[in-house]
């Protein structure tokens, strides 16, 4: 990467610059703007774990950006280069994201400086439990104060360890399971959480393509069907987004970029096959059914209709922004476009669906999981069969009518099966997620189209979310 280091804003600076662009268009009282922008606190912990006969010291962070609503919420990331500024930038994005999608949380984020691929499962459990212990004893993991979730390098497994660690330390807390989200189903998780962020990316694109004017703005036409898509990062978010878009919306995944290069095939890649290859071989190298590009990042610049950066921050920067050919970028990762690149792309007319909206599916379904844990009952458990029996009444009545008319018409078996099935938890979660993504998109879109001084969806998203955070501070005082 040949980035102009001097001019390129850091992730943290990028978030602040984007925030500043938006607040310049708002009428916030003196001081409130600064109060919303700053990160309230960051706790840094260094702890030792005995592994392989020696003590290893690890560094972790938990930042709380805004407590205008509690608990605060945000994932825990495991990556070798995690640092305080990055965690604070991510915590700030969580504040704005939660406000935008009306998840009743403040913003937080955590990180552990570790390369998880260097440790086996048992070692990772020891490290995770120790990190969780340090955060739990300071209420930085707590069902009513601070609720983590998965992020890069962590998943259901780590969340289950954290939940168990909290339960061991708080044996009488009946809401213990609500201390973390993204847990496996058997440990208090919710159906549809693993897929949620990728699913949210799909719902966001569907909502975008419902609107002719917006599709025109990106210089595109038609529906998602047949659109050429390049995805960077086939991890949790990228894999699910690519899978759903190709299997359910007719998109062609022409490029997949991973750490060890990229796969490219204009006819479309088989997402499942590539994913299985990565799981087995640790990367895309050697995959037999597509061309391998060693300099993976170059594939970001290939021609396509939709570019989905779903790996990490800062991958589209001032050096490569002008060469990005995709007319539409959806930021599945947090902060993949730097503020400098954002300026270049905006001037080029590239439409960017911003991270705080695009990847909000994860926190939305985490919110549902937290509610499920606090209510101690699975969604749909009370209503499902009652709904089915009421639908059965209608079907019986229609069939009796059909009989009385000499069966001149009948209900198709497919209709009957679908109509009679009451919604289970997964269907309810998807419905709640779809509704959230549609409403949040419309709130940004209204500002984007109606205000002459707002050029892009990102600024519109900041205006919506900062407005909500400001209203919350005004209502209750600081
Ligand atoms: P993950 O660890 O499951 O996947 C990340 C993928 O990106 C991996 O396949 C990794 O090999 C690949 N990758 C890493 N560095 C790369 C590089 N330089 N070039 C190409 N590929 C690279 O992580 P994830 O949970 O899918 O998170 C990805 C992004 O989405 C992060 O920015 C994260 O903050 C954001 N996000 C995740 C969630 C969630 O629910 N997991 C929610 C919101 C936002």
Query: Same structural domain for residues 177 and 287?
Result: no
Burial of residue 288 (CB within 10 Å: 0-12, 13-18, 19+) is exposed
Q: Look at residue 310 and tell me if it is in a domain.
A: yes
In this structure, the residue with its CA closest to atom 32 of ligand 1 is: 333
Q: Look at residue 438 and tell me if it is in a domain.
A: no
Structure tokens at 110: 């955590």
Query: Same structural domain for residues 66 and 105?
Result: yes
SS3 44: strand
pTM above 0.75, yes or no: yes
Question: For 227-239, how does the pLDDT look when each residue is reduced to its tens digit (9 = 90+)?
Answer: 999 999 999 999 9
In this structure, the residue with its CA closest to atom 4 of ligand 1 is: 235
pLDDT at 46: 98
Q: Which of 127, 153, 187 is the last residue of a domain?
A: 187
Over residues 288-293, mean pLDDT: 96
What is the whole-number distance in angstroms between the Cα of residue 134 and the centre of ligand 1? 25
Strand 106-113 relative to strand 54-66, pairing: antiparallel
Residue-number span of the structural domain to which 385 is assigned: 381-422
Query: Same structural domain for residues 230 and 304?
Result: yes
What is the whole-number distance in angstroms between the Cα of residue 77 and the centre of ligand 1? 10
| Catalytic site includes residue 280 | no
Query: Same structural domain for residues 298 and 389?
Result: no
Question: For 191-209, how does the pLDDT look when each residue is reduced to its tens digit (9 = 90+)?
Answer: 999 999 999 999 999 999 9
In this structure, the dihedral spanned by the alpha carbons of residues 371, 374, 376 and 377, taken in order and rounded to 10 degrees, is -20
Distances (CA, A) of 114 to 60, 133, 201: 9, 17, 28
Query: Same structural domain for residues 171 and 253?
Result: no
Query: Same structural domain for residues 102 and 245?
Result: no
Q: Look at residue 372 and tell me if it is in a domain.
A: no
Query: Same structural domain for residues 348 and 223?
Result: yes
Catalytic pick among 35, 73, 97, 109: 109
Beta-bridge partner residues of 330: 353
Is residue 228 within a helix (H) or strand (E), and if so which, with residue range? strand 228-232
pLDDT at 30: 81
- pLDDT of residue 2 exceeding 60, the answer is no
Local confidence band at 380 (pLDDT 50, 70, 90 cut-offs) = very high
- pLDDT of residue 5 exceeding 50, the answer is no
pLDDT at 68: 94
Q: Look at residue 11 and tell me if it is in a domain.
A: no
Q: Look at residue 430 and tell me if it is in a domain.
A: no
Query: Same structural domain for residues 157 and 82?
Result: yes
Decide if 362 contacts 194 (C-beta within 8 A): no
Is residue 22 within a helix (H) or strand (E), and if so which, with residue range? helix 11-23
Q: Give the separation between CA 436 and CA 433, rounded to whole angstroms.
A: 5
Over residues 152-173, mean pLDDT: 98
- pLDDT of residue 293 exceeding 70, the answer is yes
Q: Which 8-state DSSP code applies to residue 178?
A: G
Q: Which of 124, 155, 187 is the last residue of a domain?
A: 187
- pLDDT of residue 6 exceeding 80, the answer is no
Q: Give the separation between CA 468 and CA 456, rounded to whole angstroms.
A: 19
Local confidence band at 7 (pLDDT 50, 70, 90 cut-offs) = confident
Q: Which of 98, 233, 280, 309 to probe ligand 1 with, by most ligand atoms within 8 A of CB?
A: 233
Query: Same structural domain for residues 170 and 207?
Result: no
Q: Which of 166, 187, 208 is the last residue of a domain?
A: 187
pLDDT at 55: 97
Q: Look at residue 7 and tell me if it is in a domain.
A: no
Query: Same structural domain for residues 115 and 200?
Result: no
Query: Same structural domain for residues 201 and 222?
Result: yes
Give the CATH number of the domain where residue 219 resides.
Answer: 3.40.50.720
pLDDT at 478: 66
- pLDDT of residue 3 exceeding 90, the answer is no
- Report how many domains make up the chain: 3
Q: Which of 152, 183, 203, 337 to probe ligand 1 with, by most ligand atoms within 8 A of CB?
A: 152
Query: Same structural domain for residues 306 and 400?
Result: no
Q: Look at residue 396 and tell me if it is in a domain.
A: yes
Question: For 316-374, how does the pLDDT look when each residue is reduced to its tens digit (9 = 90+)?
Answer: 999 999 999 999 999 999 999 999 999 999 999 999 999 999 999 999 999 999 999 99
What is the whole-number distance in angstroms between the Cα of residue 236 and the centre of ligand 1? 7
Give the CATH number of the domain where residue 157 resides.
Answer: 3.40.50.10860
Question: For 24-83, how does the pLDDT look when each residue is reduced to its tens digit (9 = 90+)?
Answer: 999 998 899 999 999 999 999 999 999 999 999 999 999 999 999 999 999 999 999 999
Q: Look at residue 456 and tell me if it is in a domain.
A: no
- pLDDT of residue 160 exceeding 80, the answer is yes
Q: Give the separation between CA 335 and CA 337, rounded to whole angstroms.
A: 5
Residues lining ligand 1, Cβ inside 6 A: 150-153, 197, 232-238, 257-259, 296, 310-312, 332-334, 359, 362
Local confidence band at 1 (pLDDT 50, 70, 90 cut-offs) = very low
Average confidence score pLDDT of the chain: 96
Decide if 319 contacts 2 (C-beta within 8 A): yes
Question: For 215-225, how does the pLDDT look when each residue is reduced to its tens digit (9 = 90+)?
Answer: 999 999 999 99
DSSP structure string for 87-144:
HHHHHHHHHHHHHHTT-S-EEEEEEEE--GGGS-HHHHHHHHHHHHHHHHTTTSSBTT
Beta-bridge partner residues of 61: 44, 111
Over residues 415-431, mean pLDDT: 96
Other Cβ atoms less than 10 A from the Cβ of 237: the count is 30
């Amino acid at each position: 990467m040949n980035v102009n280091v001097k001019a390129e804003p850091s992730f943290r600076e990028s978030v602040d610059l984007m925030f500043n662009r938006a607040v310049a268009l708002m009428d916030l009282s003196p001081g409130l703007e600064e109060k919303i922008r700053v990160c309230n606190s960051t706790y840094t912990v260094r702890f030792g774990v005995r592994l392989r006969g020696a003590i290893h010291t690890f560094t972790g962070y938990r930042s709380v950006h805004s407590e205008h609503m509690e608990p605060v919420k945000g994932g825990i990331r495991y990556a070798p280069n995690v640092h305080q500024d990055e965690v604070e930038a991510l915590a700030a994005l969580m504040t704005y994201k939660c406000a935008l999608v009306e998840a009743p949380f403040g913003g937080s984020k955590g990180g552990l400086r570790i390369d998880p691929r260097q440790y086996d499962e048992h070692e990772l459990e020891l490290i995770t439990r120790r990190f969780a212990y340090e955060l739990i004893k300071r209420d930085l993991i707590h069902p009513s104060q601070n609720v983590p979730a998965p992020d890069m390098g962590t998943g259901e497994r780590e969340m289950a360890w954290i939940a168990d660690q909290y339960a061991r330390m708080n044996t009488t807390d009946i809401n213990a399971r609500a201390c973390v989200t993204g847990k496996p189903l058997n440990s208090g998780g919710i159906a549809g959480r693993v897929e949620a962020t990728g699913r949210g990316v799909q719902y966001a694109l569907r909502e975008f393509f419902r609107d002719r004017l917006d599709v025109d703005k990106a210089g595109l036409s038609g529906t998602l069907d047949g659109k050429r898509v390049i995805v960077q990062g086939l991890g949790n978010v990228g894999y699910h987004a690519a899978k759903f878009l190709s299997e359910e919306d007719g998109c062609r995944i022409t490029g997949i970029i991973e750490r060890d290069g990229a796969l490219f095939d204009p006819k479309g890649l088989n997402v499942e096959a590539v994913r299985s290859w990565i799981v087995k071989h640790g990367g895309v190298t050697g995959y037999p059914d597509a061309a391998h590009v060693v300099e993976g990042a170059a594939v970001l610049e290939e021609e396509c209709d939709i570019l989905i950066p779903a790996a990490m921050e800062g991958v589209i920067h001032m050096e490569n922004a002008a060469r990005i050919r995709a007319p539409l970028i959806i930021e599945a990762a947090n902060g993949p476009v730097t503020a400098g690149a954002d300026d270049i792309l905006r001037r080029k007319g590239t439409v960017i669906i911003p991270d705080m909206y695009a990847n909000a599916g994860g926190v939305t379904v985490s919110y549902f999981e937290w509610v499920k844990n606090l209510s101690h009952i699975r969604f749909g458990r009370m209503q499902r069969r009652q709904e089915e029996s009421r639908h059965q009444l209608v079907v019986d009545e229609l069939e009796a009518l059909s009989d009385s008319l000499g069966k001149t018409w009948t209900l198709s078996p497919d209709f009957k099966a679908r109509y009679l099935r009451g919604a289970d938890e997964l269907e309810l979660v998807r419905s709640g997620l779809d509704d959230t993504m549609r409403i949040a998109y419309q709130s940004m879109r209204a500002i984007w189209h109606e205000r002459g001084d707002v050029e892009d969806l990102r600024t519109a998203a900041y205006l919506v979310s900062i407005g909500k955070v400001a209203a919350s501070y005004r209502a209750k005082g600081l």
